[in-house]
Structure 1
C-alpha cells in the first residue's frame, strides 16, 4: 500500500478493530505518530497500538511476528526489573495481533513531555545503563540481522532496477562492500573469530539514543523492534565520536568495557550500507530520501 493517508487510515481502523476484539472500549482513537509505524492511542483506554507499515520486501509476516514477540518479551522483562521502558500493556495478552493485513503490538499509554528537547549525548550515556540491564536477559535472540539475511542484497537489487538514486557504480561498490561484511553480520562464530574477546550480548538493535521517549516522569527506552544480540558497538553505529564518547562515560559508570575501535569501524560500515539499502523504501515513505541521501553522498565522498 503506497498511498500514505489510506495506509494510515487502514492501520488505524485495524488497531481499533483489534483492540475492541480484545475487549477494550475505544471511542476516541487518535494517531500519535506516523512514520515507519502508525502509533495509535486507543482512547479512552490507556493503551497504544504500534502498527509497522513501512517494511522491506524481505520482511515476511513470520519474521515480523517473531521480532514483535521478542520486543514484547524483552520490554516486559526490563519493566519487571525496574528499567525505565515503555512497557507492554497489561490489559491485553502480550502477543502481536494480526488484523487487516497488519501485525500490531499493544503498549501502556505514557504521557509525552512535548516541551522536552532531545539530548542525544545524554541519551547515548543512558544506553550504557540499558546494556547493563539487558545483560541478564534469558530469552533467545538472533545474532544481528541473521533473521533477515536478504535485506541488503534485495534492496540493492531494487535500487539497481530503479536507477534513480544509486548509479550502477554505486550498486557495484555497495555489493562488493557488503560481500566482505556479510559473513560477520550473519554468523556469530565468524564475528567472534574476527574480533576475539569482544563479548556478544543482548542489545537494543536500532540506535537507542534516538529511541528514548520523553515521558512526563522522565526518559524511557522504547522501540525494541530490532532487539538482537551483538557487540555493544552495534547500538552506536554511525553516530560519530561525540555520542560514542558520551556512551563511554556511561560505560565507565556502569562498569562496562570501552568501545573497540575495530568493531566501531565494522558497525559503522554495516550501518552505512543498511542506510543506503533503506533508500529502497522511499516509494513507501518518500521523506526517507531527505535523511538518507546525505548518507549516500558522504559514502560516495569517502570512496
Structure 2
C-alpha cells in the first residue's frame, strides 16, 4: 500500500515532510516488533525522494463496520498510548501545533472565502494563548498539575484505525508527537474519553480536553487555507467553523485568557494521580 501526500501545507517543505515520515516509519516498526497491532511499514521502509515523498505500508483487508463503537475506540487509544510510552525515538512536542499553523493562518490574509479577518485574528490570539500551555511541557504541567506527557498519535486515533478480520490496527501516525494524553481522545467525544479512562485505569484532566479541543479547532481554522488545493475540505469544515465561532475563547479552559486580558493564567489544584501511575511508583 502506497501513501502519497496530496499537498504540503505552508511552512512544511519536502525535507520536513520526509523527516516526519521517517519518524513515523521508525515508530511503527518499533511498535509492531513489540507486538502492538499497527499498520507496519513495507520495504524500503523510508520515504522516497521527491516533492511529495511516498511511503509504503503493509496491505491489510479492511472490514466495513459502520460507526466505530465508543468503548472500542477508547480502548484502542489507551492501548496505543501504552505501546508508545517507551518513546523509541525523539519526537517533537505537540507537532500538530507547529509553525505550519501560523503559516496557514498567515496565508488566510489573502483569502476570506471561508474565514473572515475577524476569524483569523481570533485564531491567532487563541494560538498565542494556547501554545505556551499545550506546546510547552513545563507550561502545561504548571497549568494542569499531574498531566502525563508521553508520545501520542497526534491525529484523532479513534478515526485512524483500520478494522480488519483480525481486529483493529492503528494507522496514519504521521503527526506522532509528545503531548498530554488528553490530546488524542478529545475530539472523538465524551463517550470515547470515558472509555479511554476505563481502559487506561486513569482519569483524564477535567479541563484539559476543552483546551485540546480549542486547539484542534484553531488548527481547523488554519487548514481553511488548504481548501483551494483540496476543495473537498470546505463543506466538511463549515459546521466545525460555526462550532468554533460560537465557542468561548480557548474553549473556556484557561479562564481569563492572558492574550485578551493581559493577566496570568491561574494554576488549578493538583489532581489525584492515576491508579496505574500509583502502582508503578509503589513497585519501584
TM-score by length of 2: 0.82
Is 1:151 the equivalent of 2:117?
no
For residue 132 of structure 1, give the secondary structure of its aligned residue in structure 2: helix
Distance 1:120 1:60, change over 3 A: farther
Distance (whole Å) between structure 1 residues aligned to residue 238 and residue 69 of structure 2:
22
Is 1:111 the equivalent of 2:61?
yes
For residue 4 of structure 2, give the secondary structure of its aligned residue in structure 1: strand
Is 1:68 the equivalent of 2:24?
no
What corresponds to 2:142 in structure 1? Answer: 193
Conserved in 1, the CA contact under 8 Å of 2:140 and 2:147?
no
Distance 1:64 1:120, change over 3 A: farther
Cα deviations across residues 159-214 of structure 1 (Å, max 9, x unaligned)?
A: 23211111222122112111111222432232233223212111111100000001
Conserved in 2, the CA contact under 8 Å of 1:237 and 1:271?
no
What corresponds to 2:48 in structure 1? Answer: 97
Once the two structures are superposed, the pairs formed by residues 148-227 of structure 1 within 5 Å of their partners are 149-227=98-176
What corresponds to 2:6 in structure 1? Answer: 53
What corresponds to 1:269 in structure 2? Answer: 214
Is 1:297 the equivalent of 2:253?
no
For residue 163 of structure 2, give the secondary structure of its aligned residue in structure 1: strand
Once the two structures are superposed, the pairs formed by residues 113-128 of structure 1 within 5 Å of their partners are 113=63, 115-121=64-70, 122-128=72-78
What corresponds to 2:32 in structure 1? Answer: 79
Which ranges in structure 1 are unaligned for 5 or more consecutive residues?
1-47
Cα deviations across residues 80-109 of structure 1 (Å, max 9, x unaligned)?
A: 1111111111xx23211114x321111111
Distance (whole Å) between structure 1 residues aligned to residue 113 and residue 69 of structure 2:
33
Cα deviations across residues 136-180 of structure 1 (Å, max 9, x unaligned)?
A: 13211111028x732222222222321111122212211211111
With 177-186 and 76-85 compared, the bigger mean Cα shift is at 177-186
For residue 75 of structure 1, give the secondary structure of its aligned residue in structure 2: helix
What corresponds to 2:91 in structure 1? Answer: 141
What corresponds to 2:185 in structure 1? Answer: 236
Distance (whole Å) between structure 2 residues aligned to residue 197 and residue 248 of structure 1:
15
For residue 103 of structure 1, give the secondary structure of its aligned residue in structure 2: coil
Conserved in 2, the CA contact under 8 Å of 1:120 and 1:210?
no
Conserved in 2, the CA contact under 8 Å of 1:238 and 1:272?
no
For residue 238 of structure 1, give the secondary structure of its aligned residue in structure 2: helix
Distance (whole Å) between structure 1 residues aligned to residue 86 and residue 99 of structure 2:
30
For residue 212 of structure 2, give the secondary structure of its aligned residue in structure 1: helix
The offset of 1:120, in angstroms, is 4.5
Conserved in 1, the CA contact under 8 Å of 2:95 and 2:154?
no
Conserved in 2, the CA contact under 8 Å of 1:156 and 1:171?
yes
The offset of 1:258, in angstroms, is 0.9
- How many corresponding residue pairs? 247
Distance (whole Å) between structure 1 residues aligned to residue 247 and residue 136 of structure 2:
27
Cα deviations across residues 242-301 of structure 1 (Å, max 9, x unaligned)?
A: 22112222222xxxx211022212211111100111111111111111221111101112
- 4+ residue segments displaced more than 3 Å: none
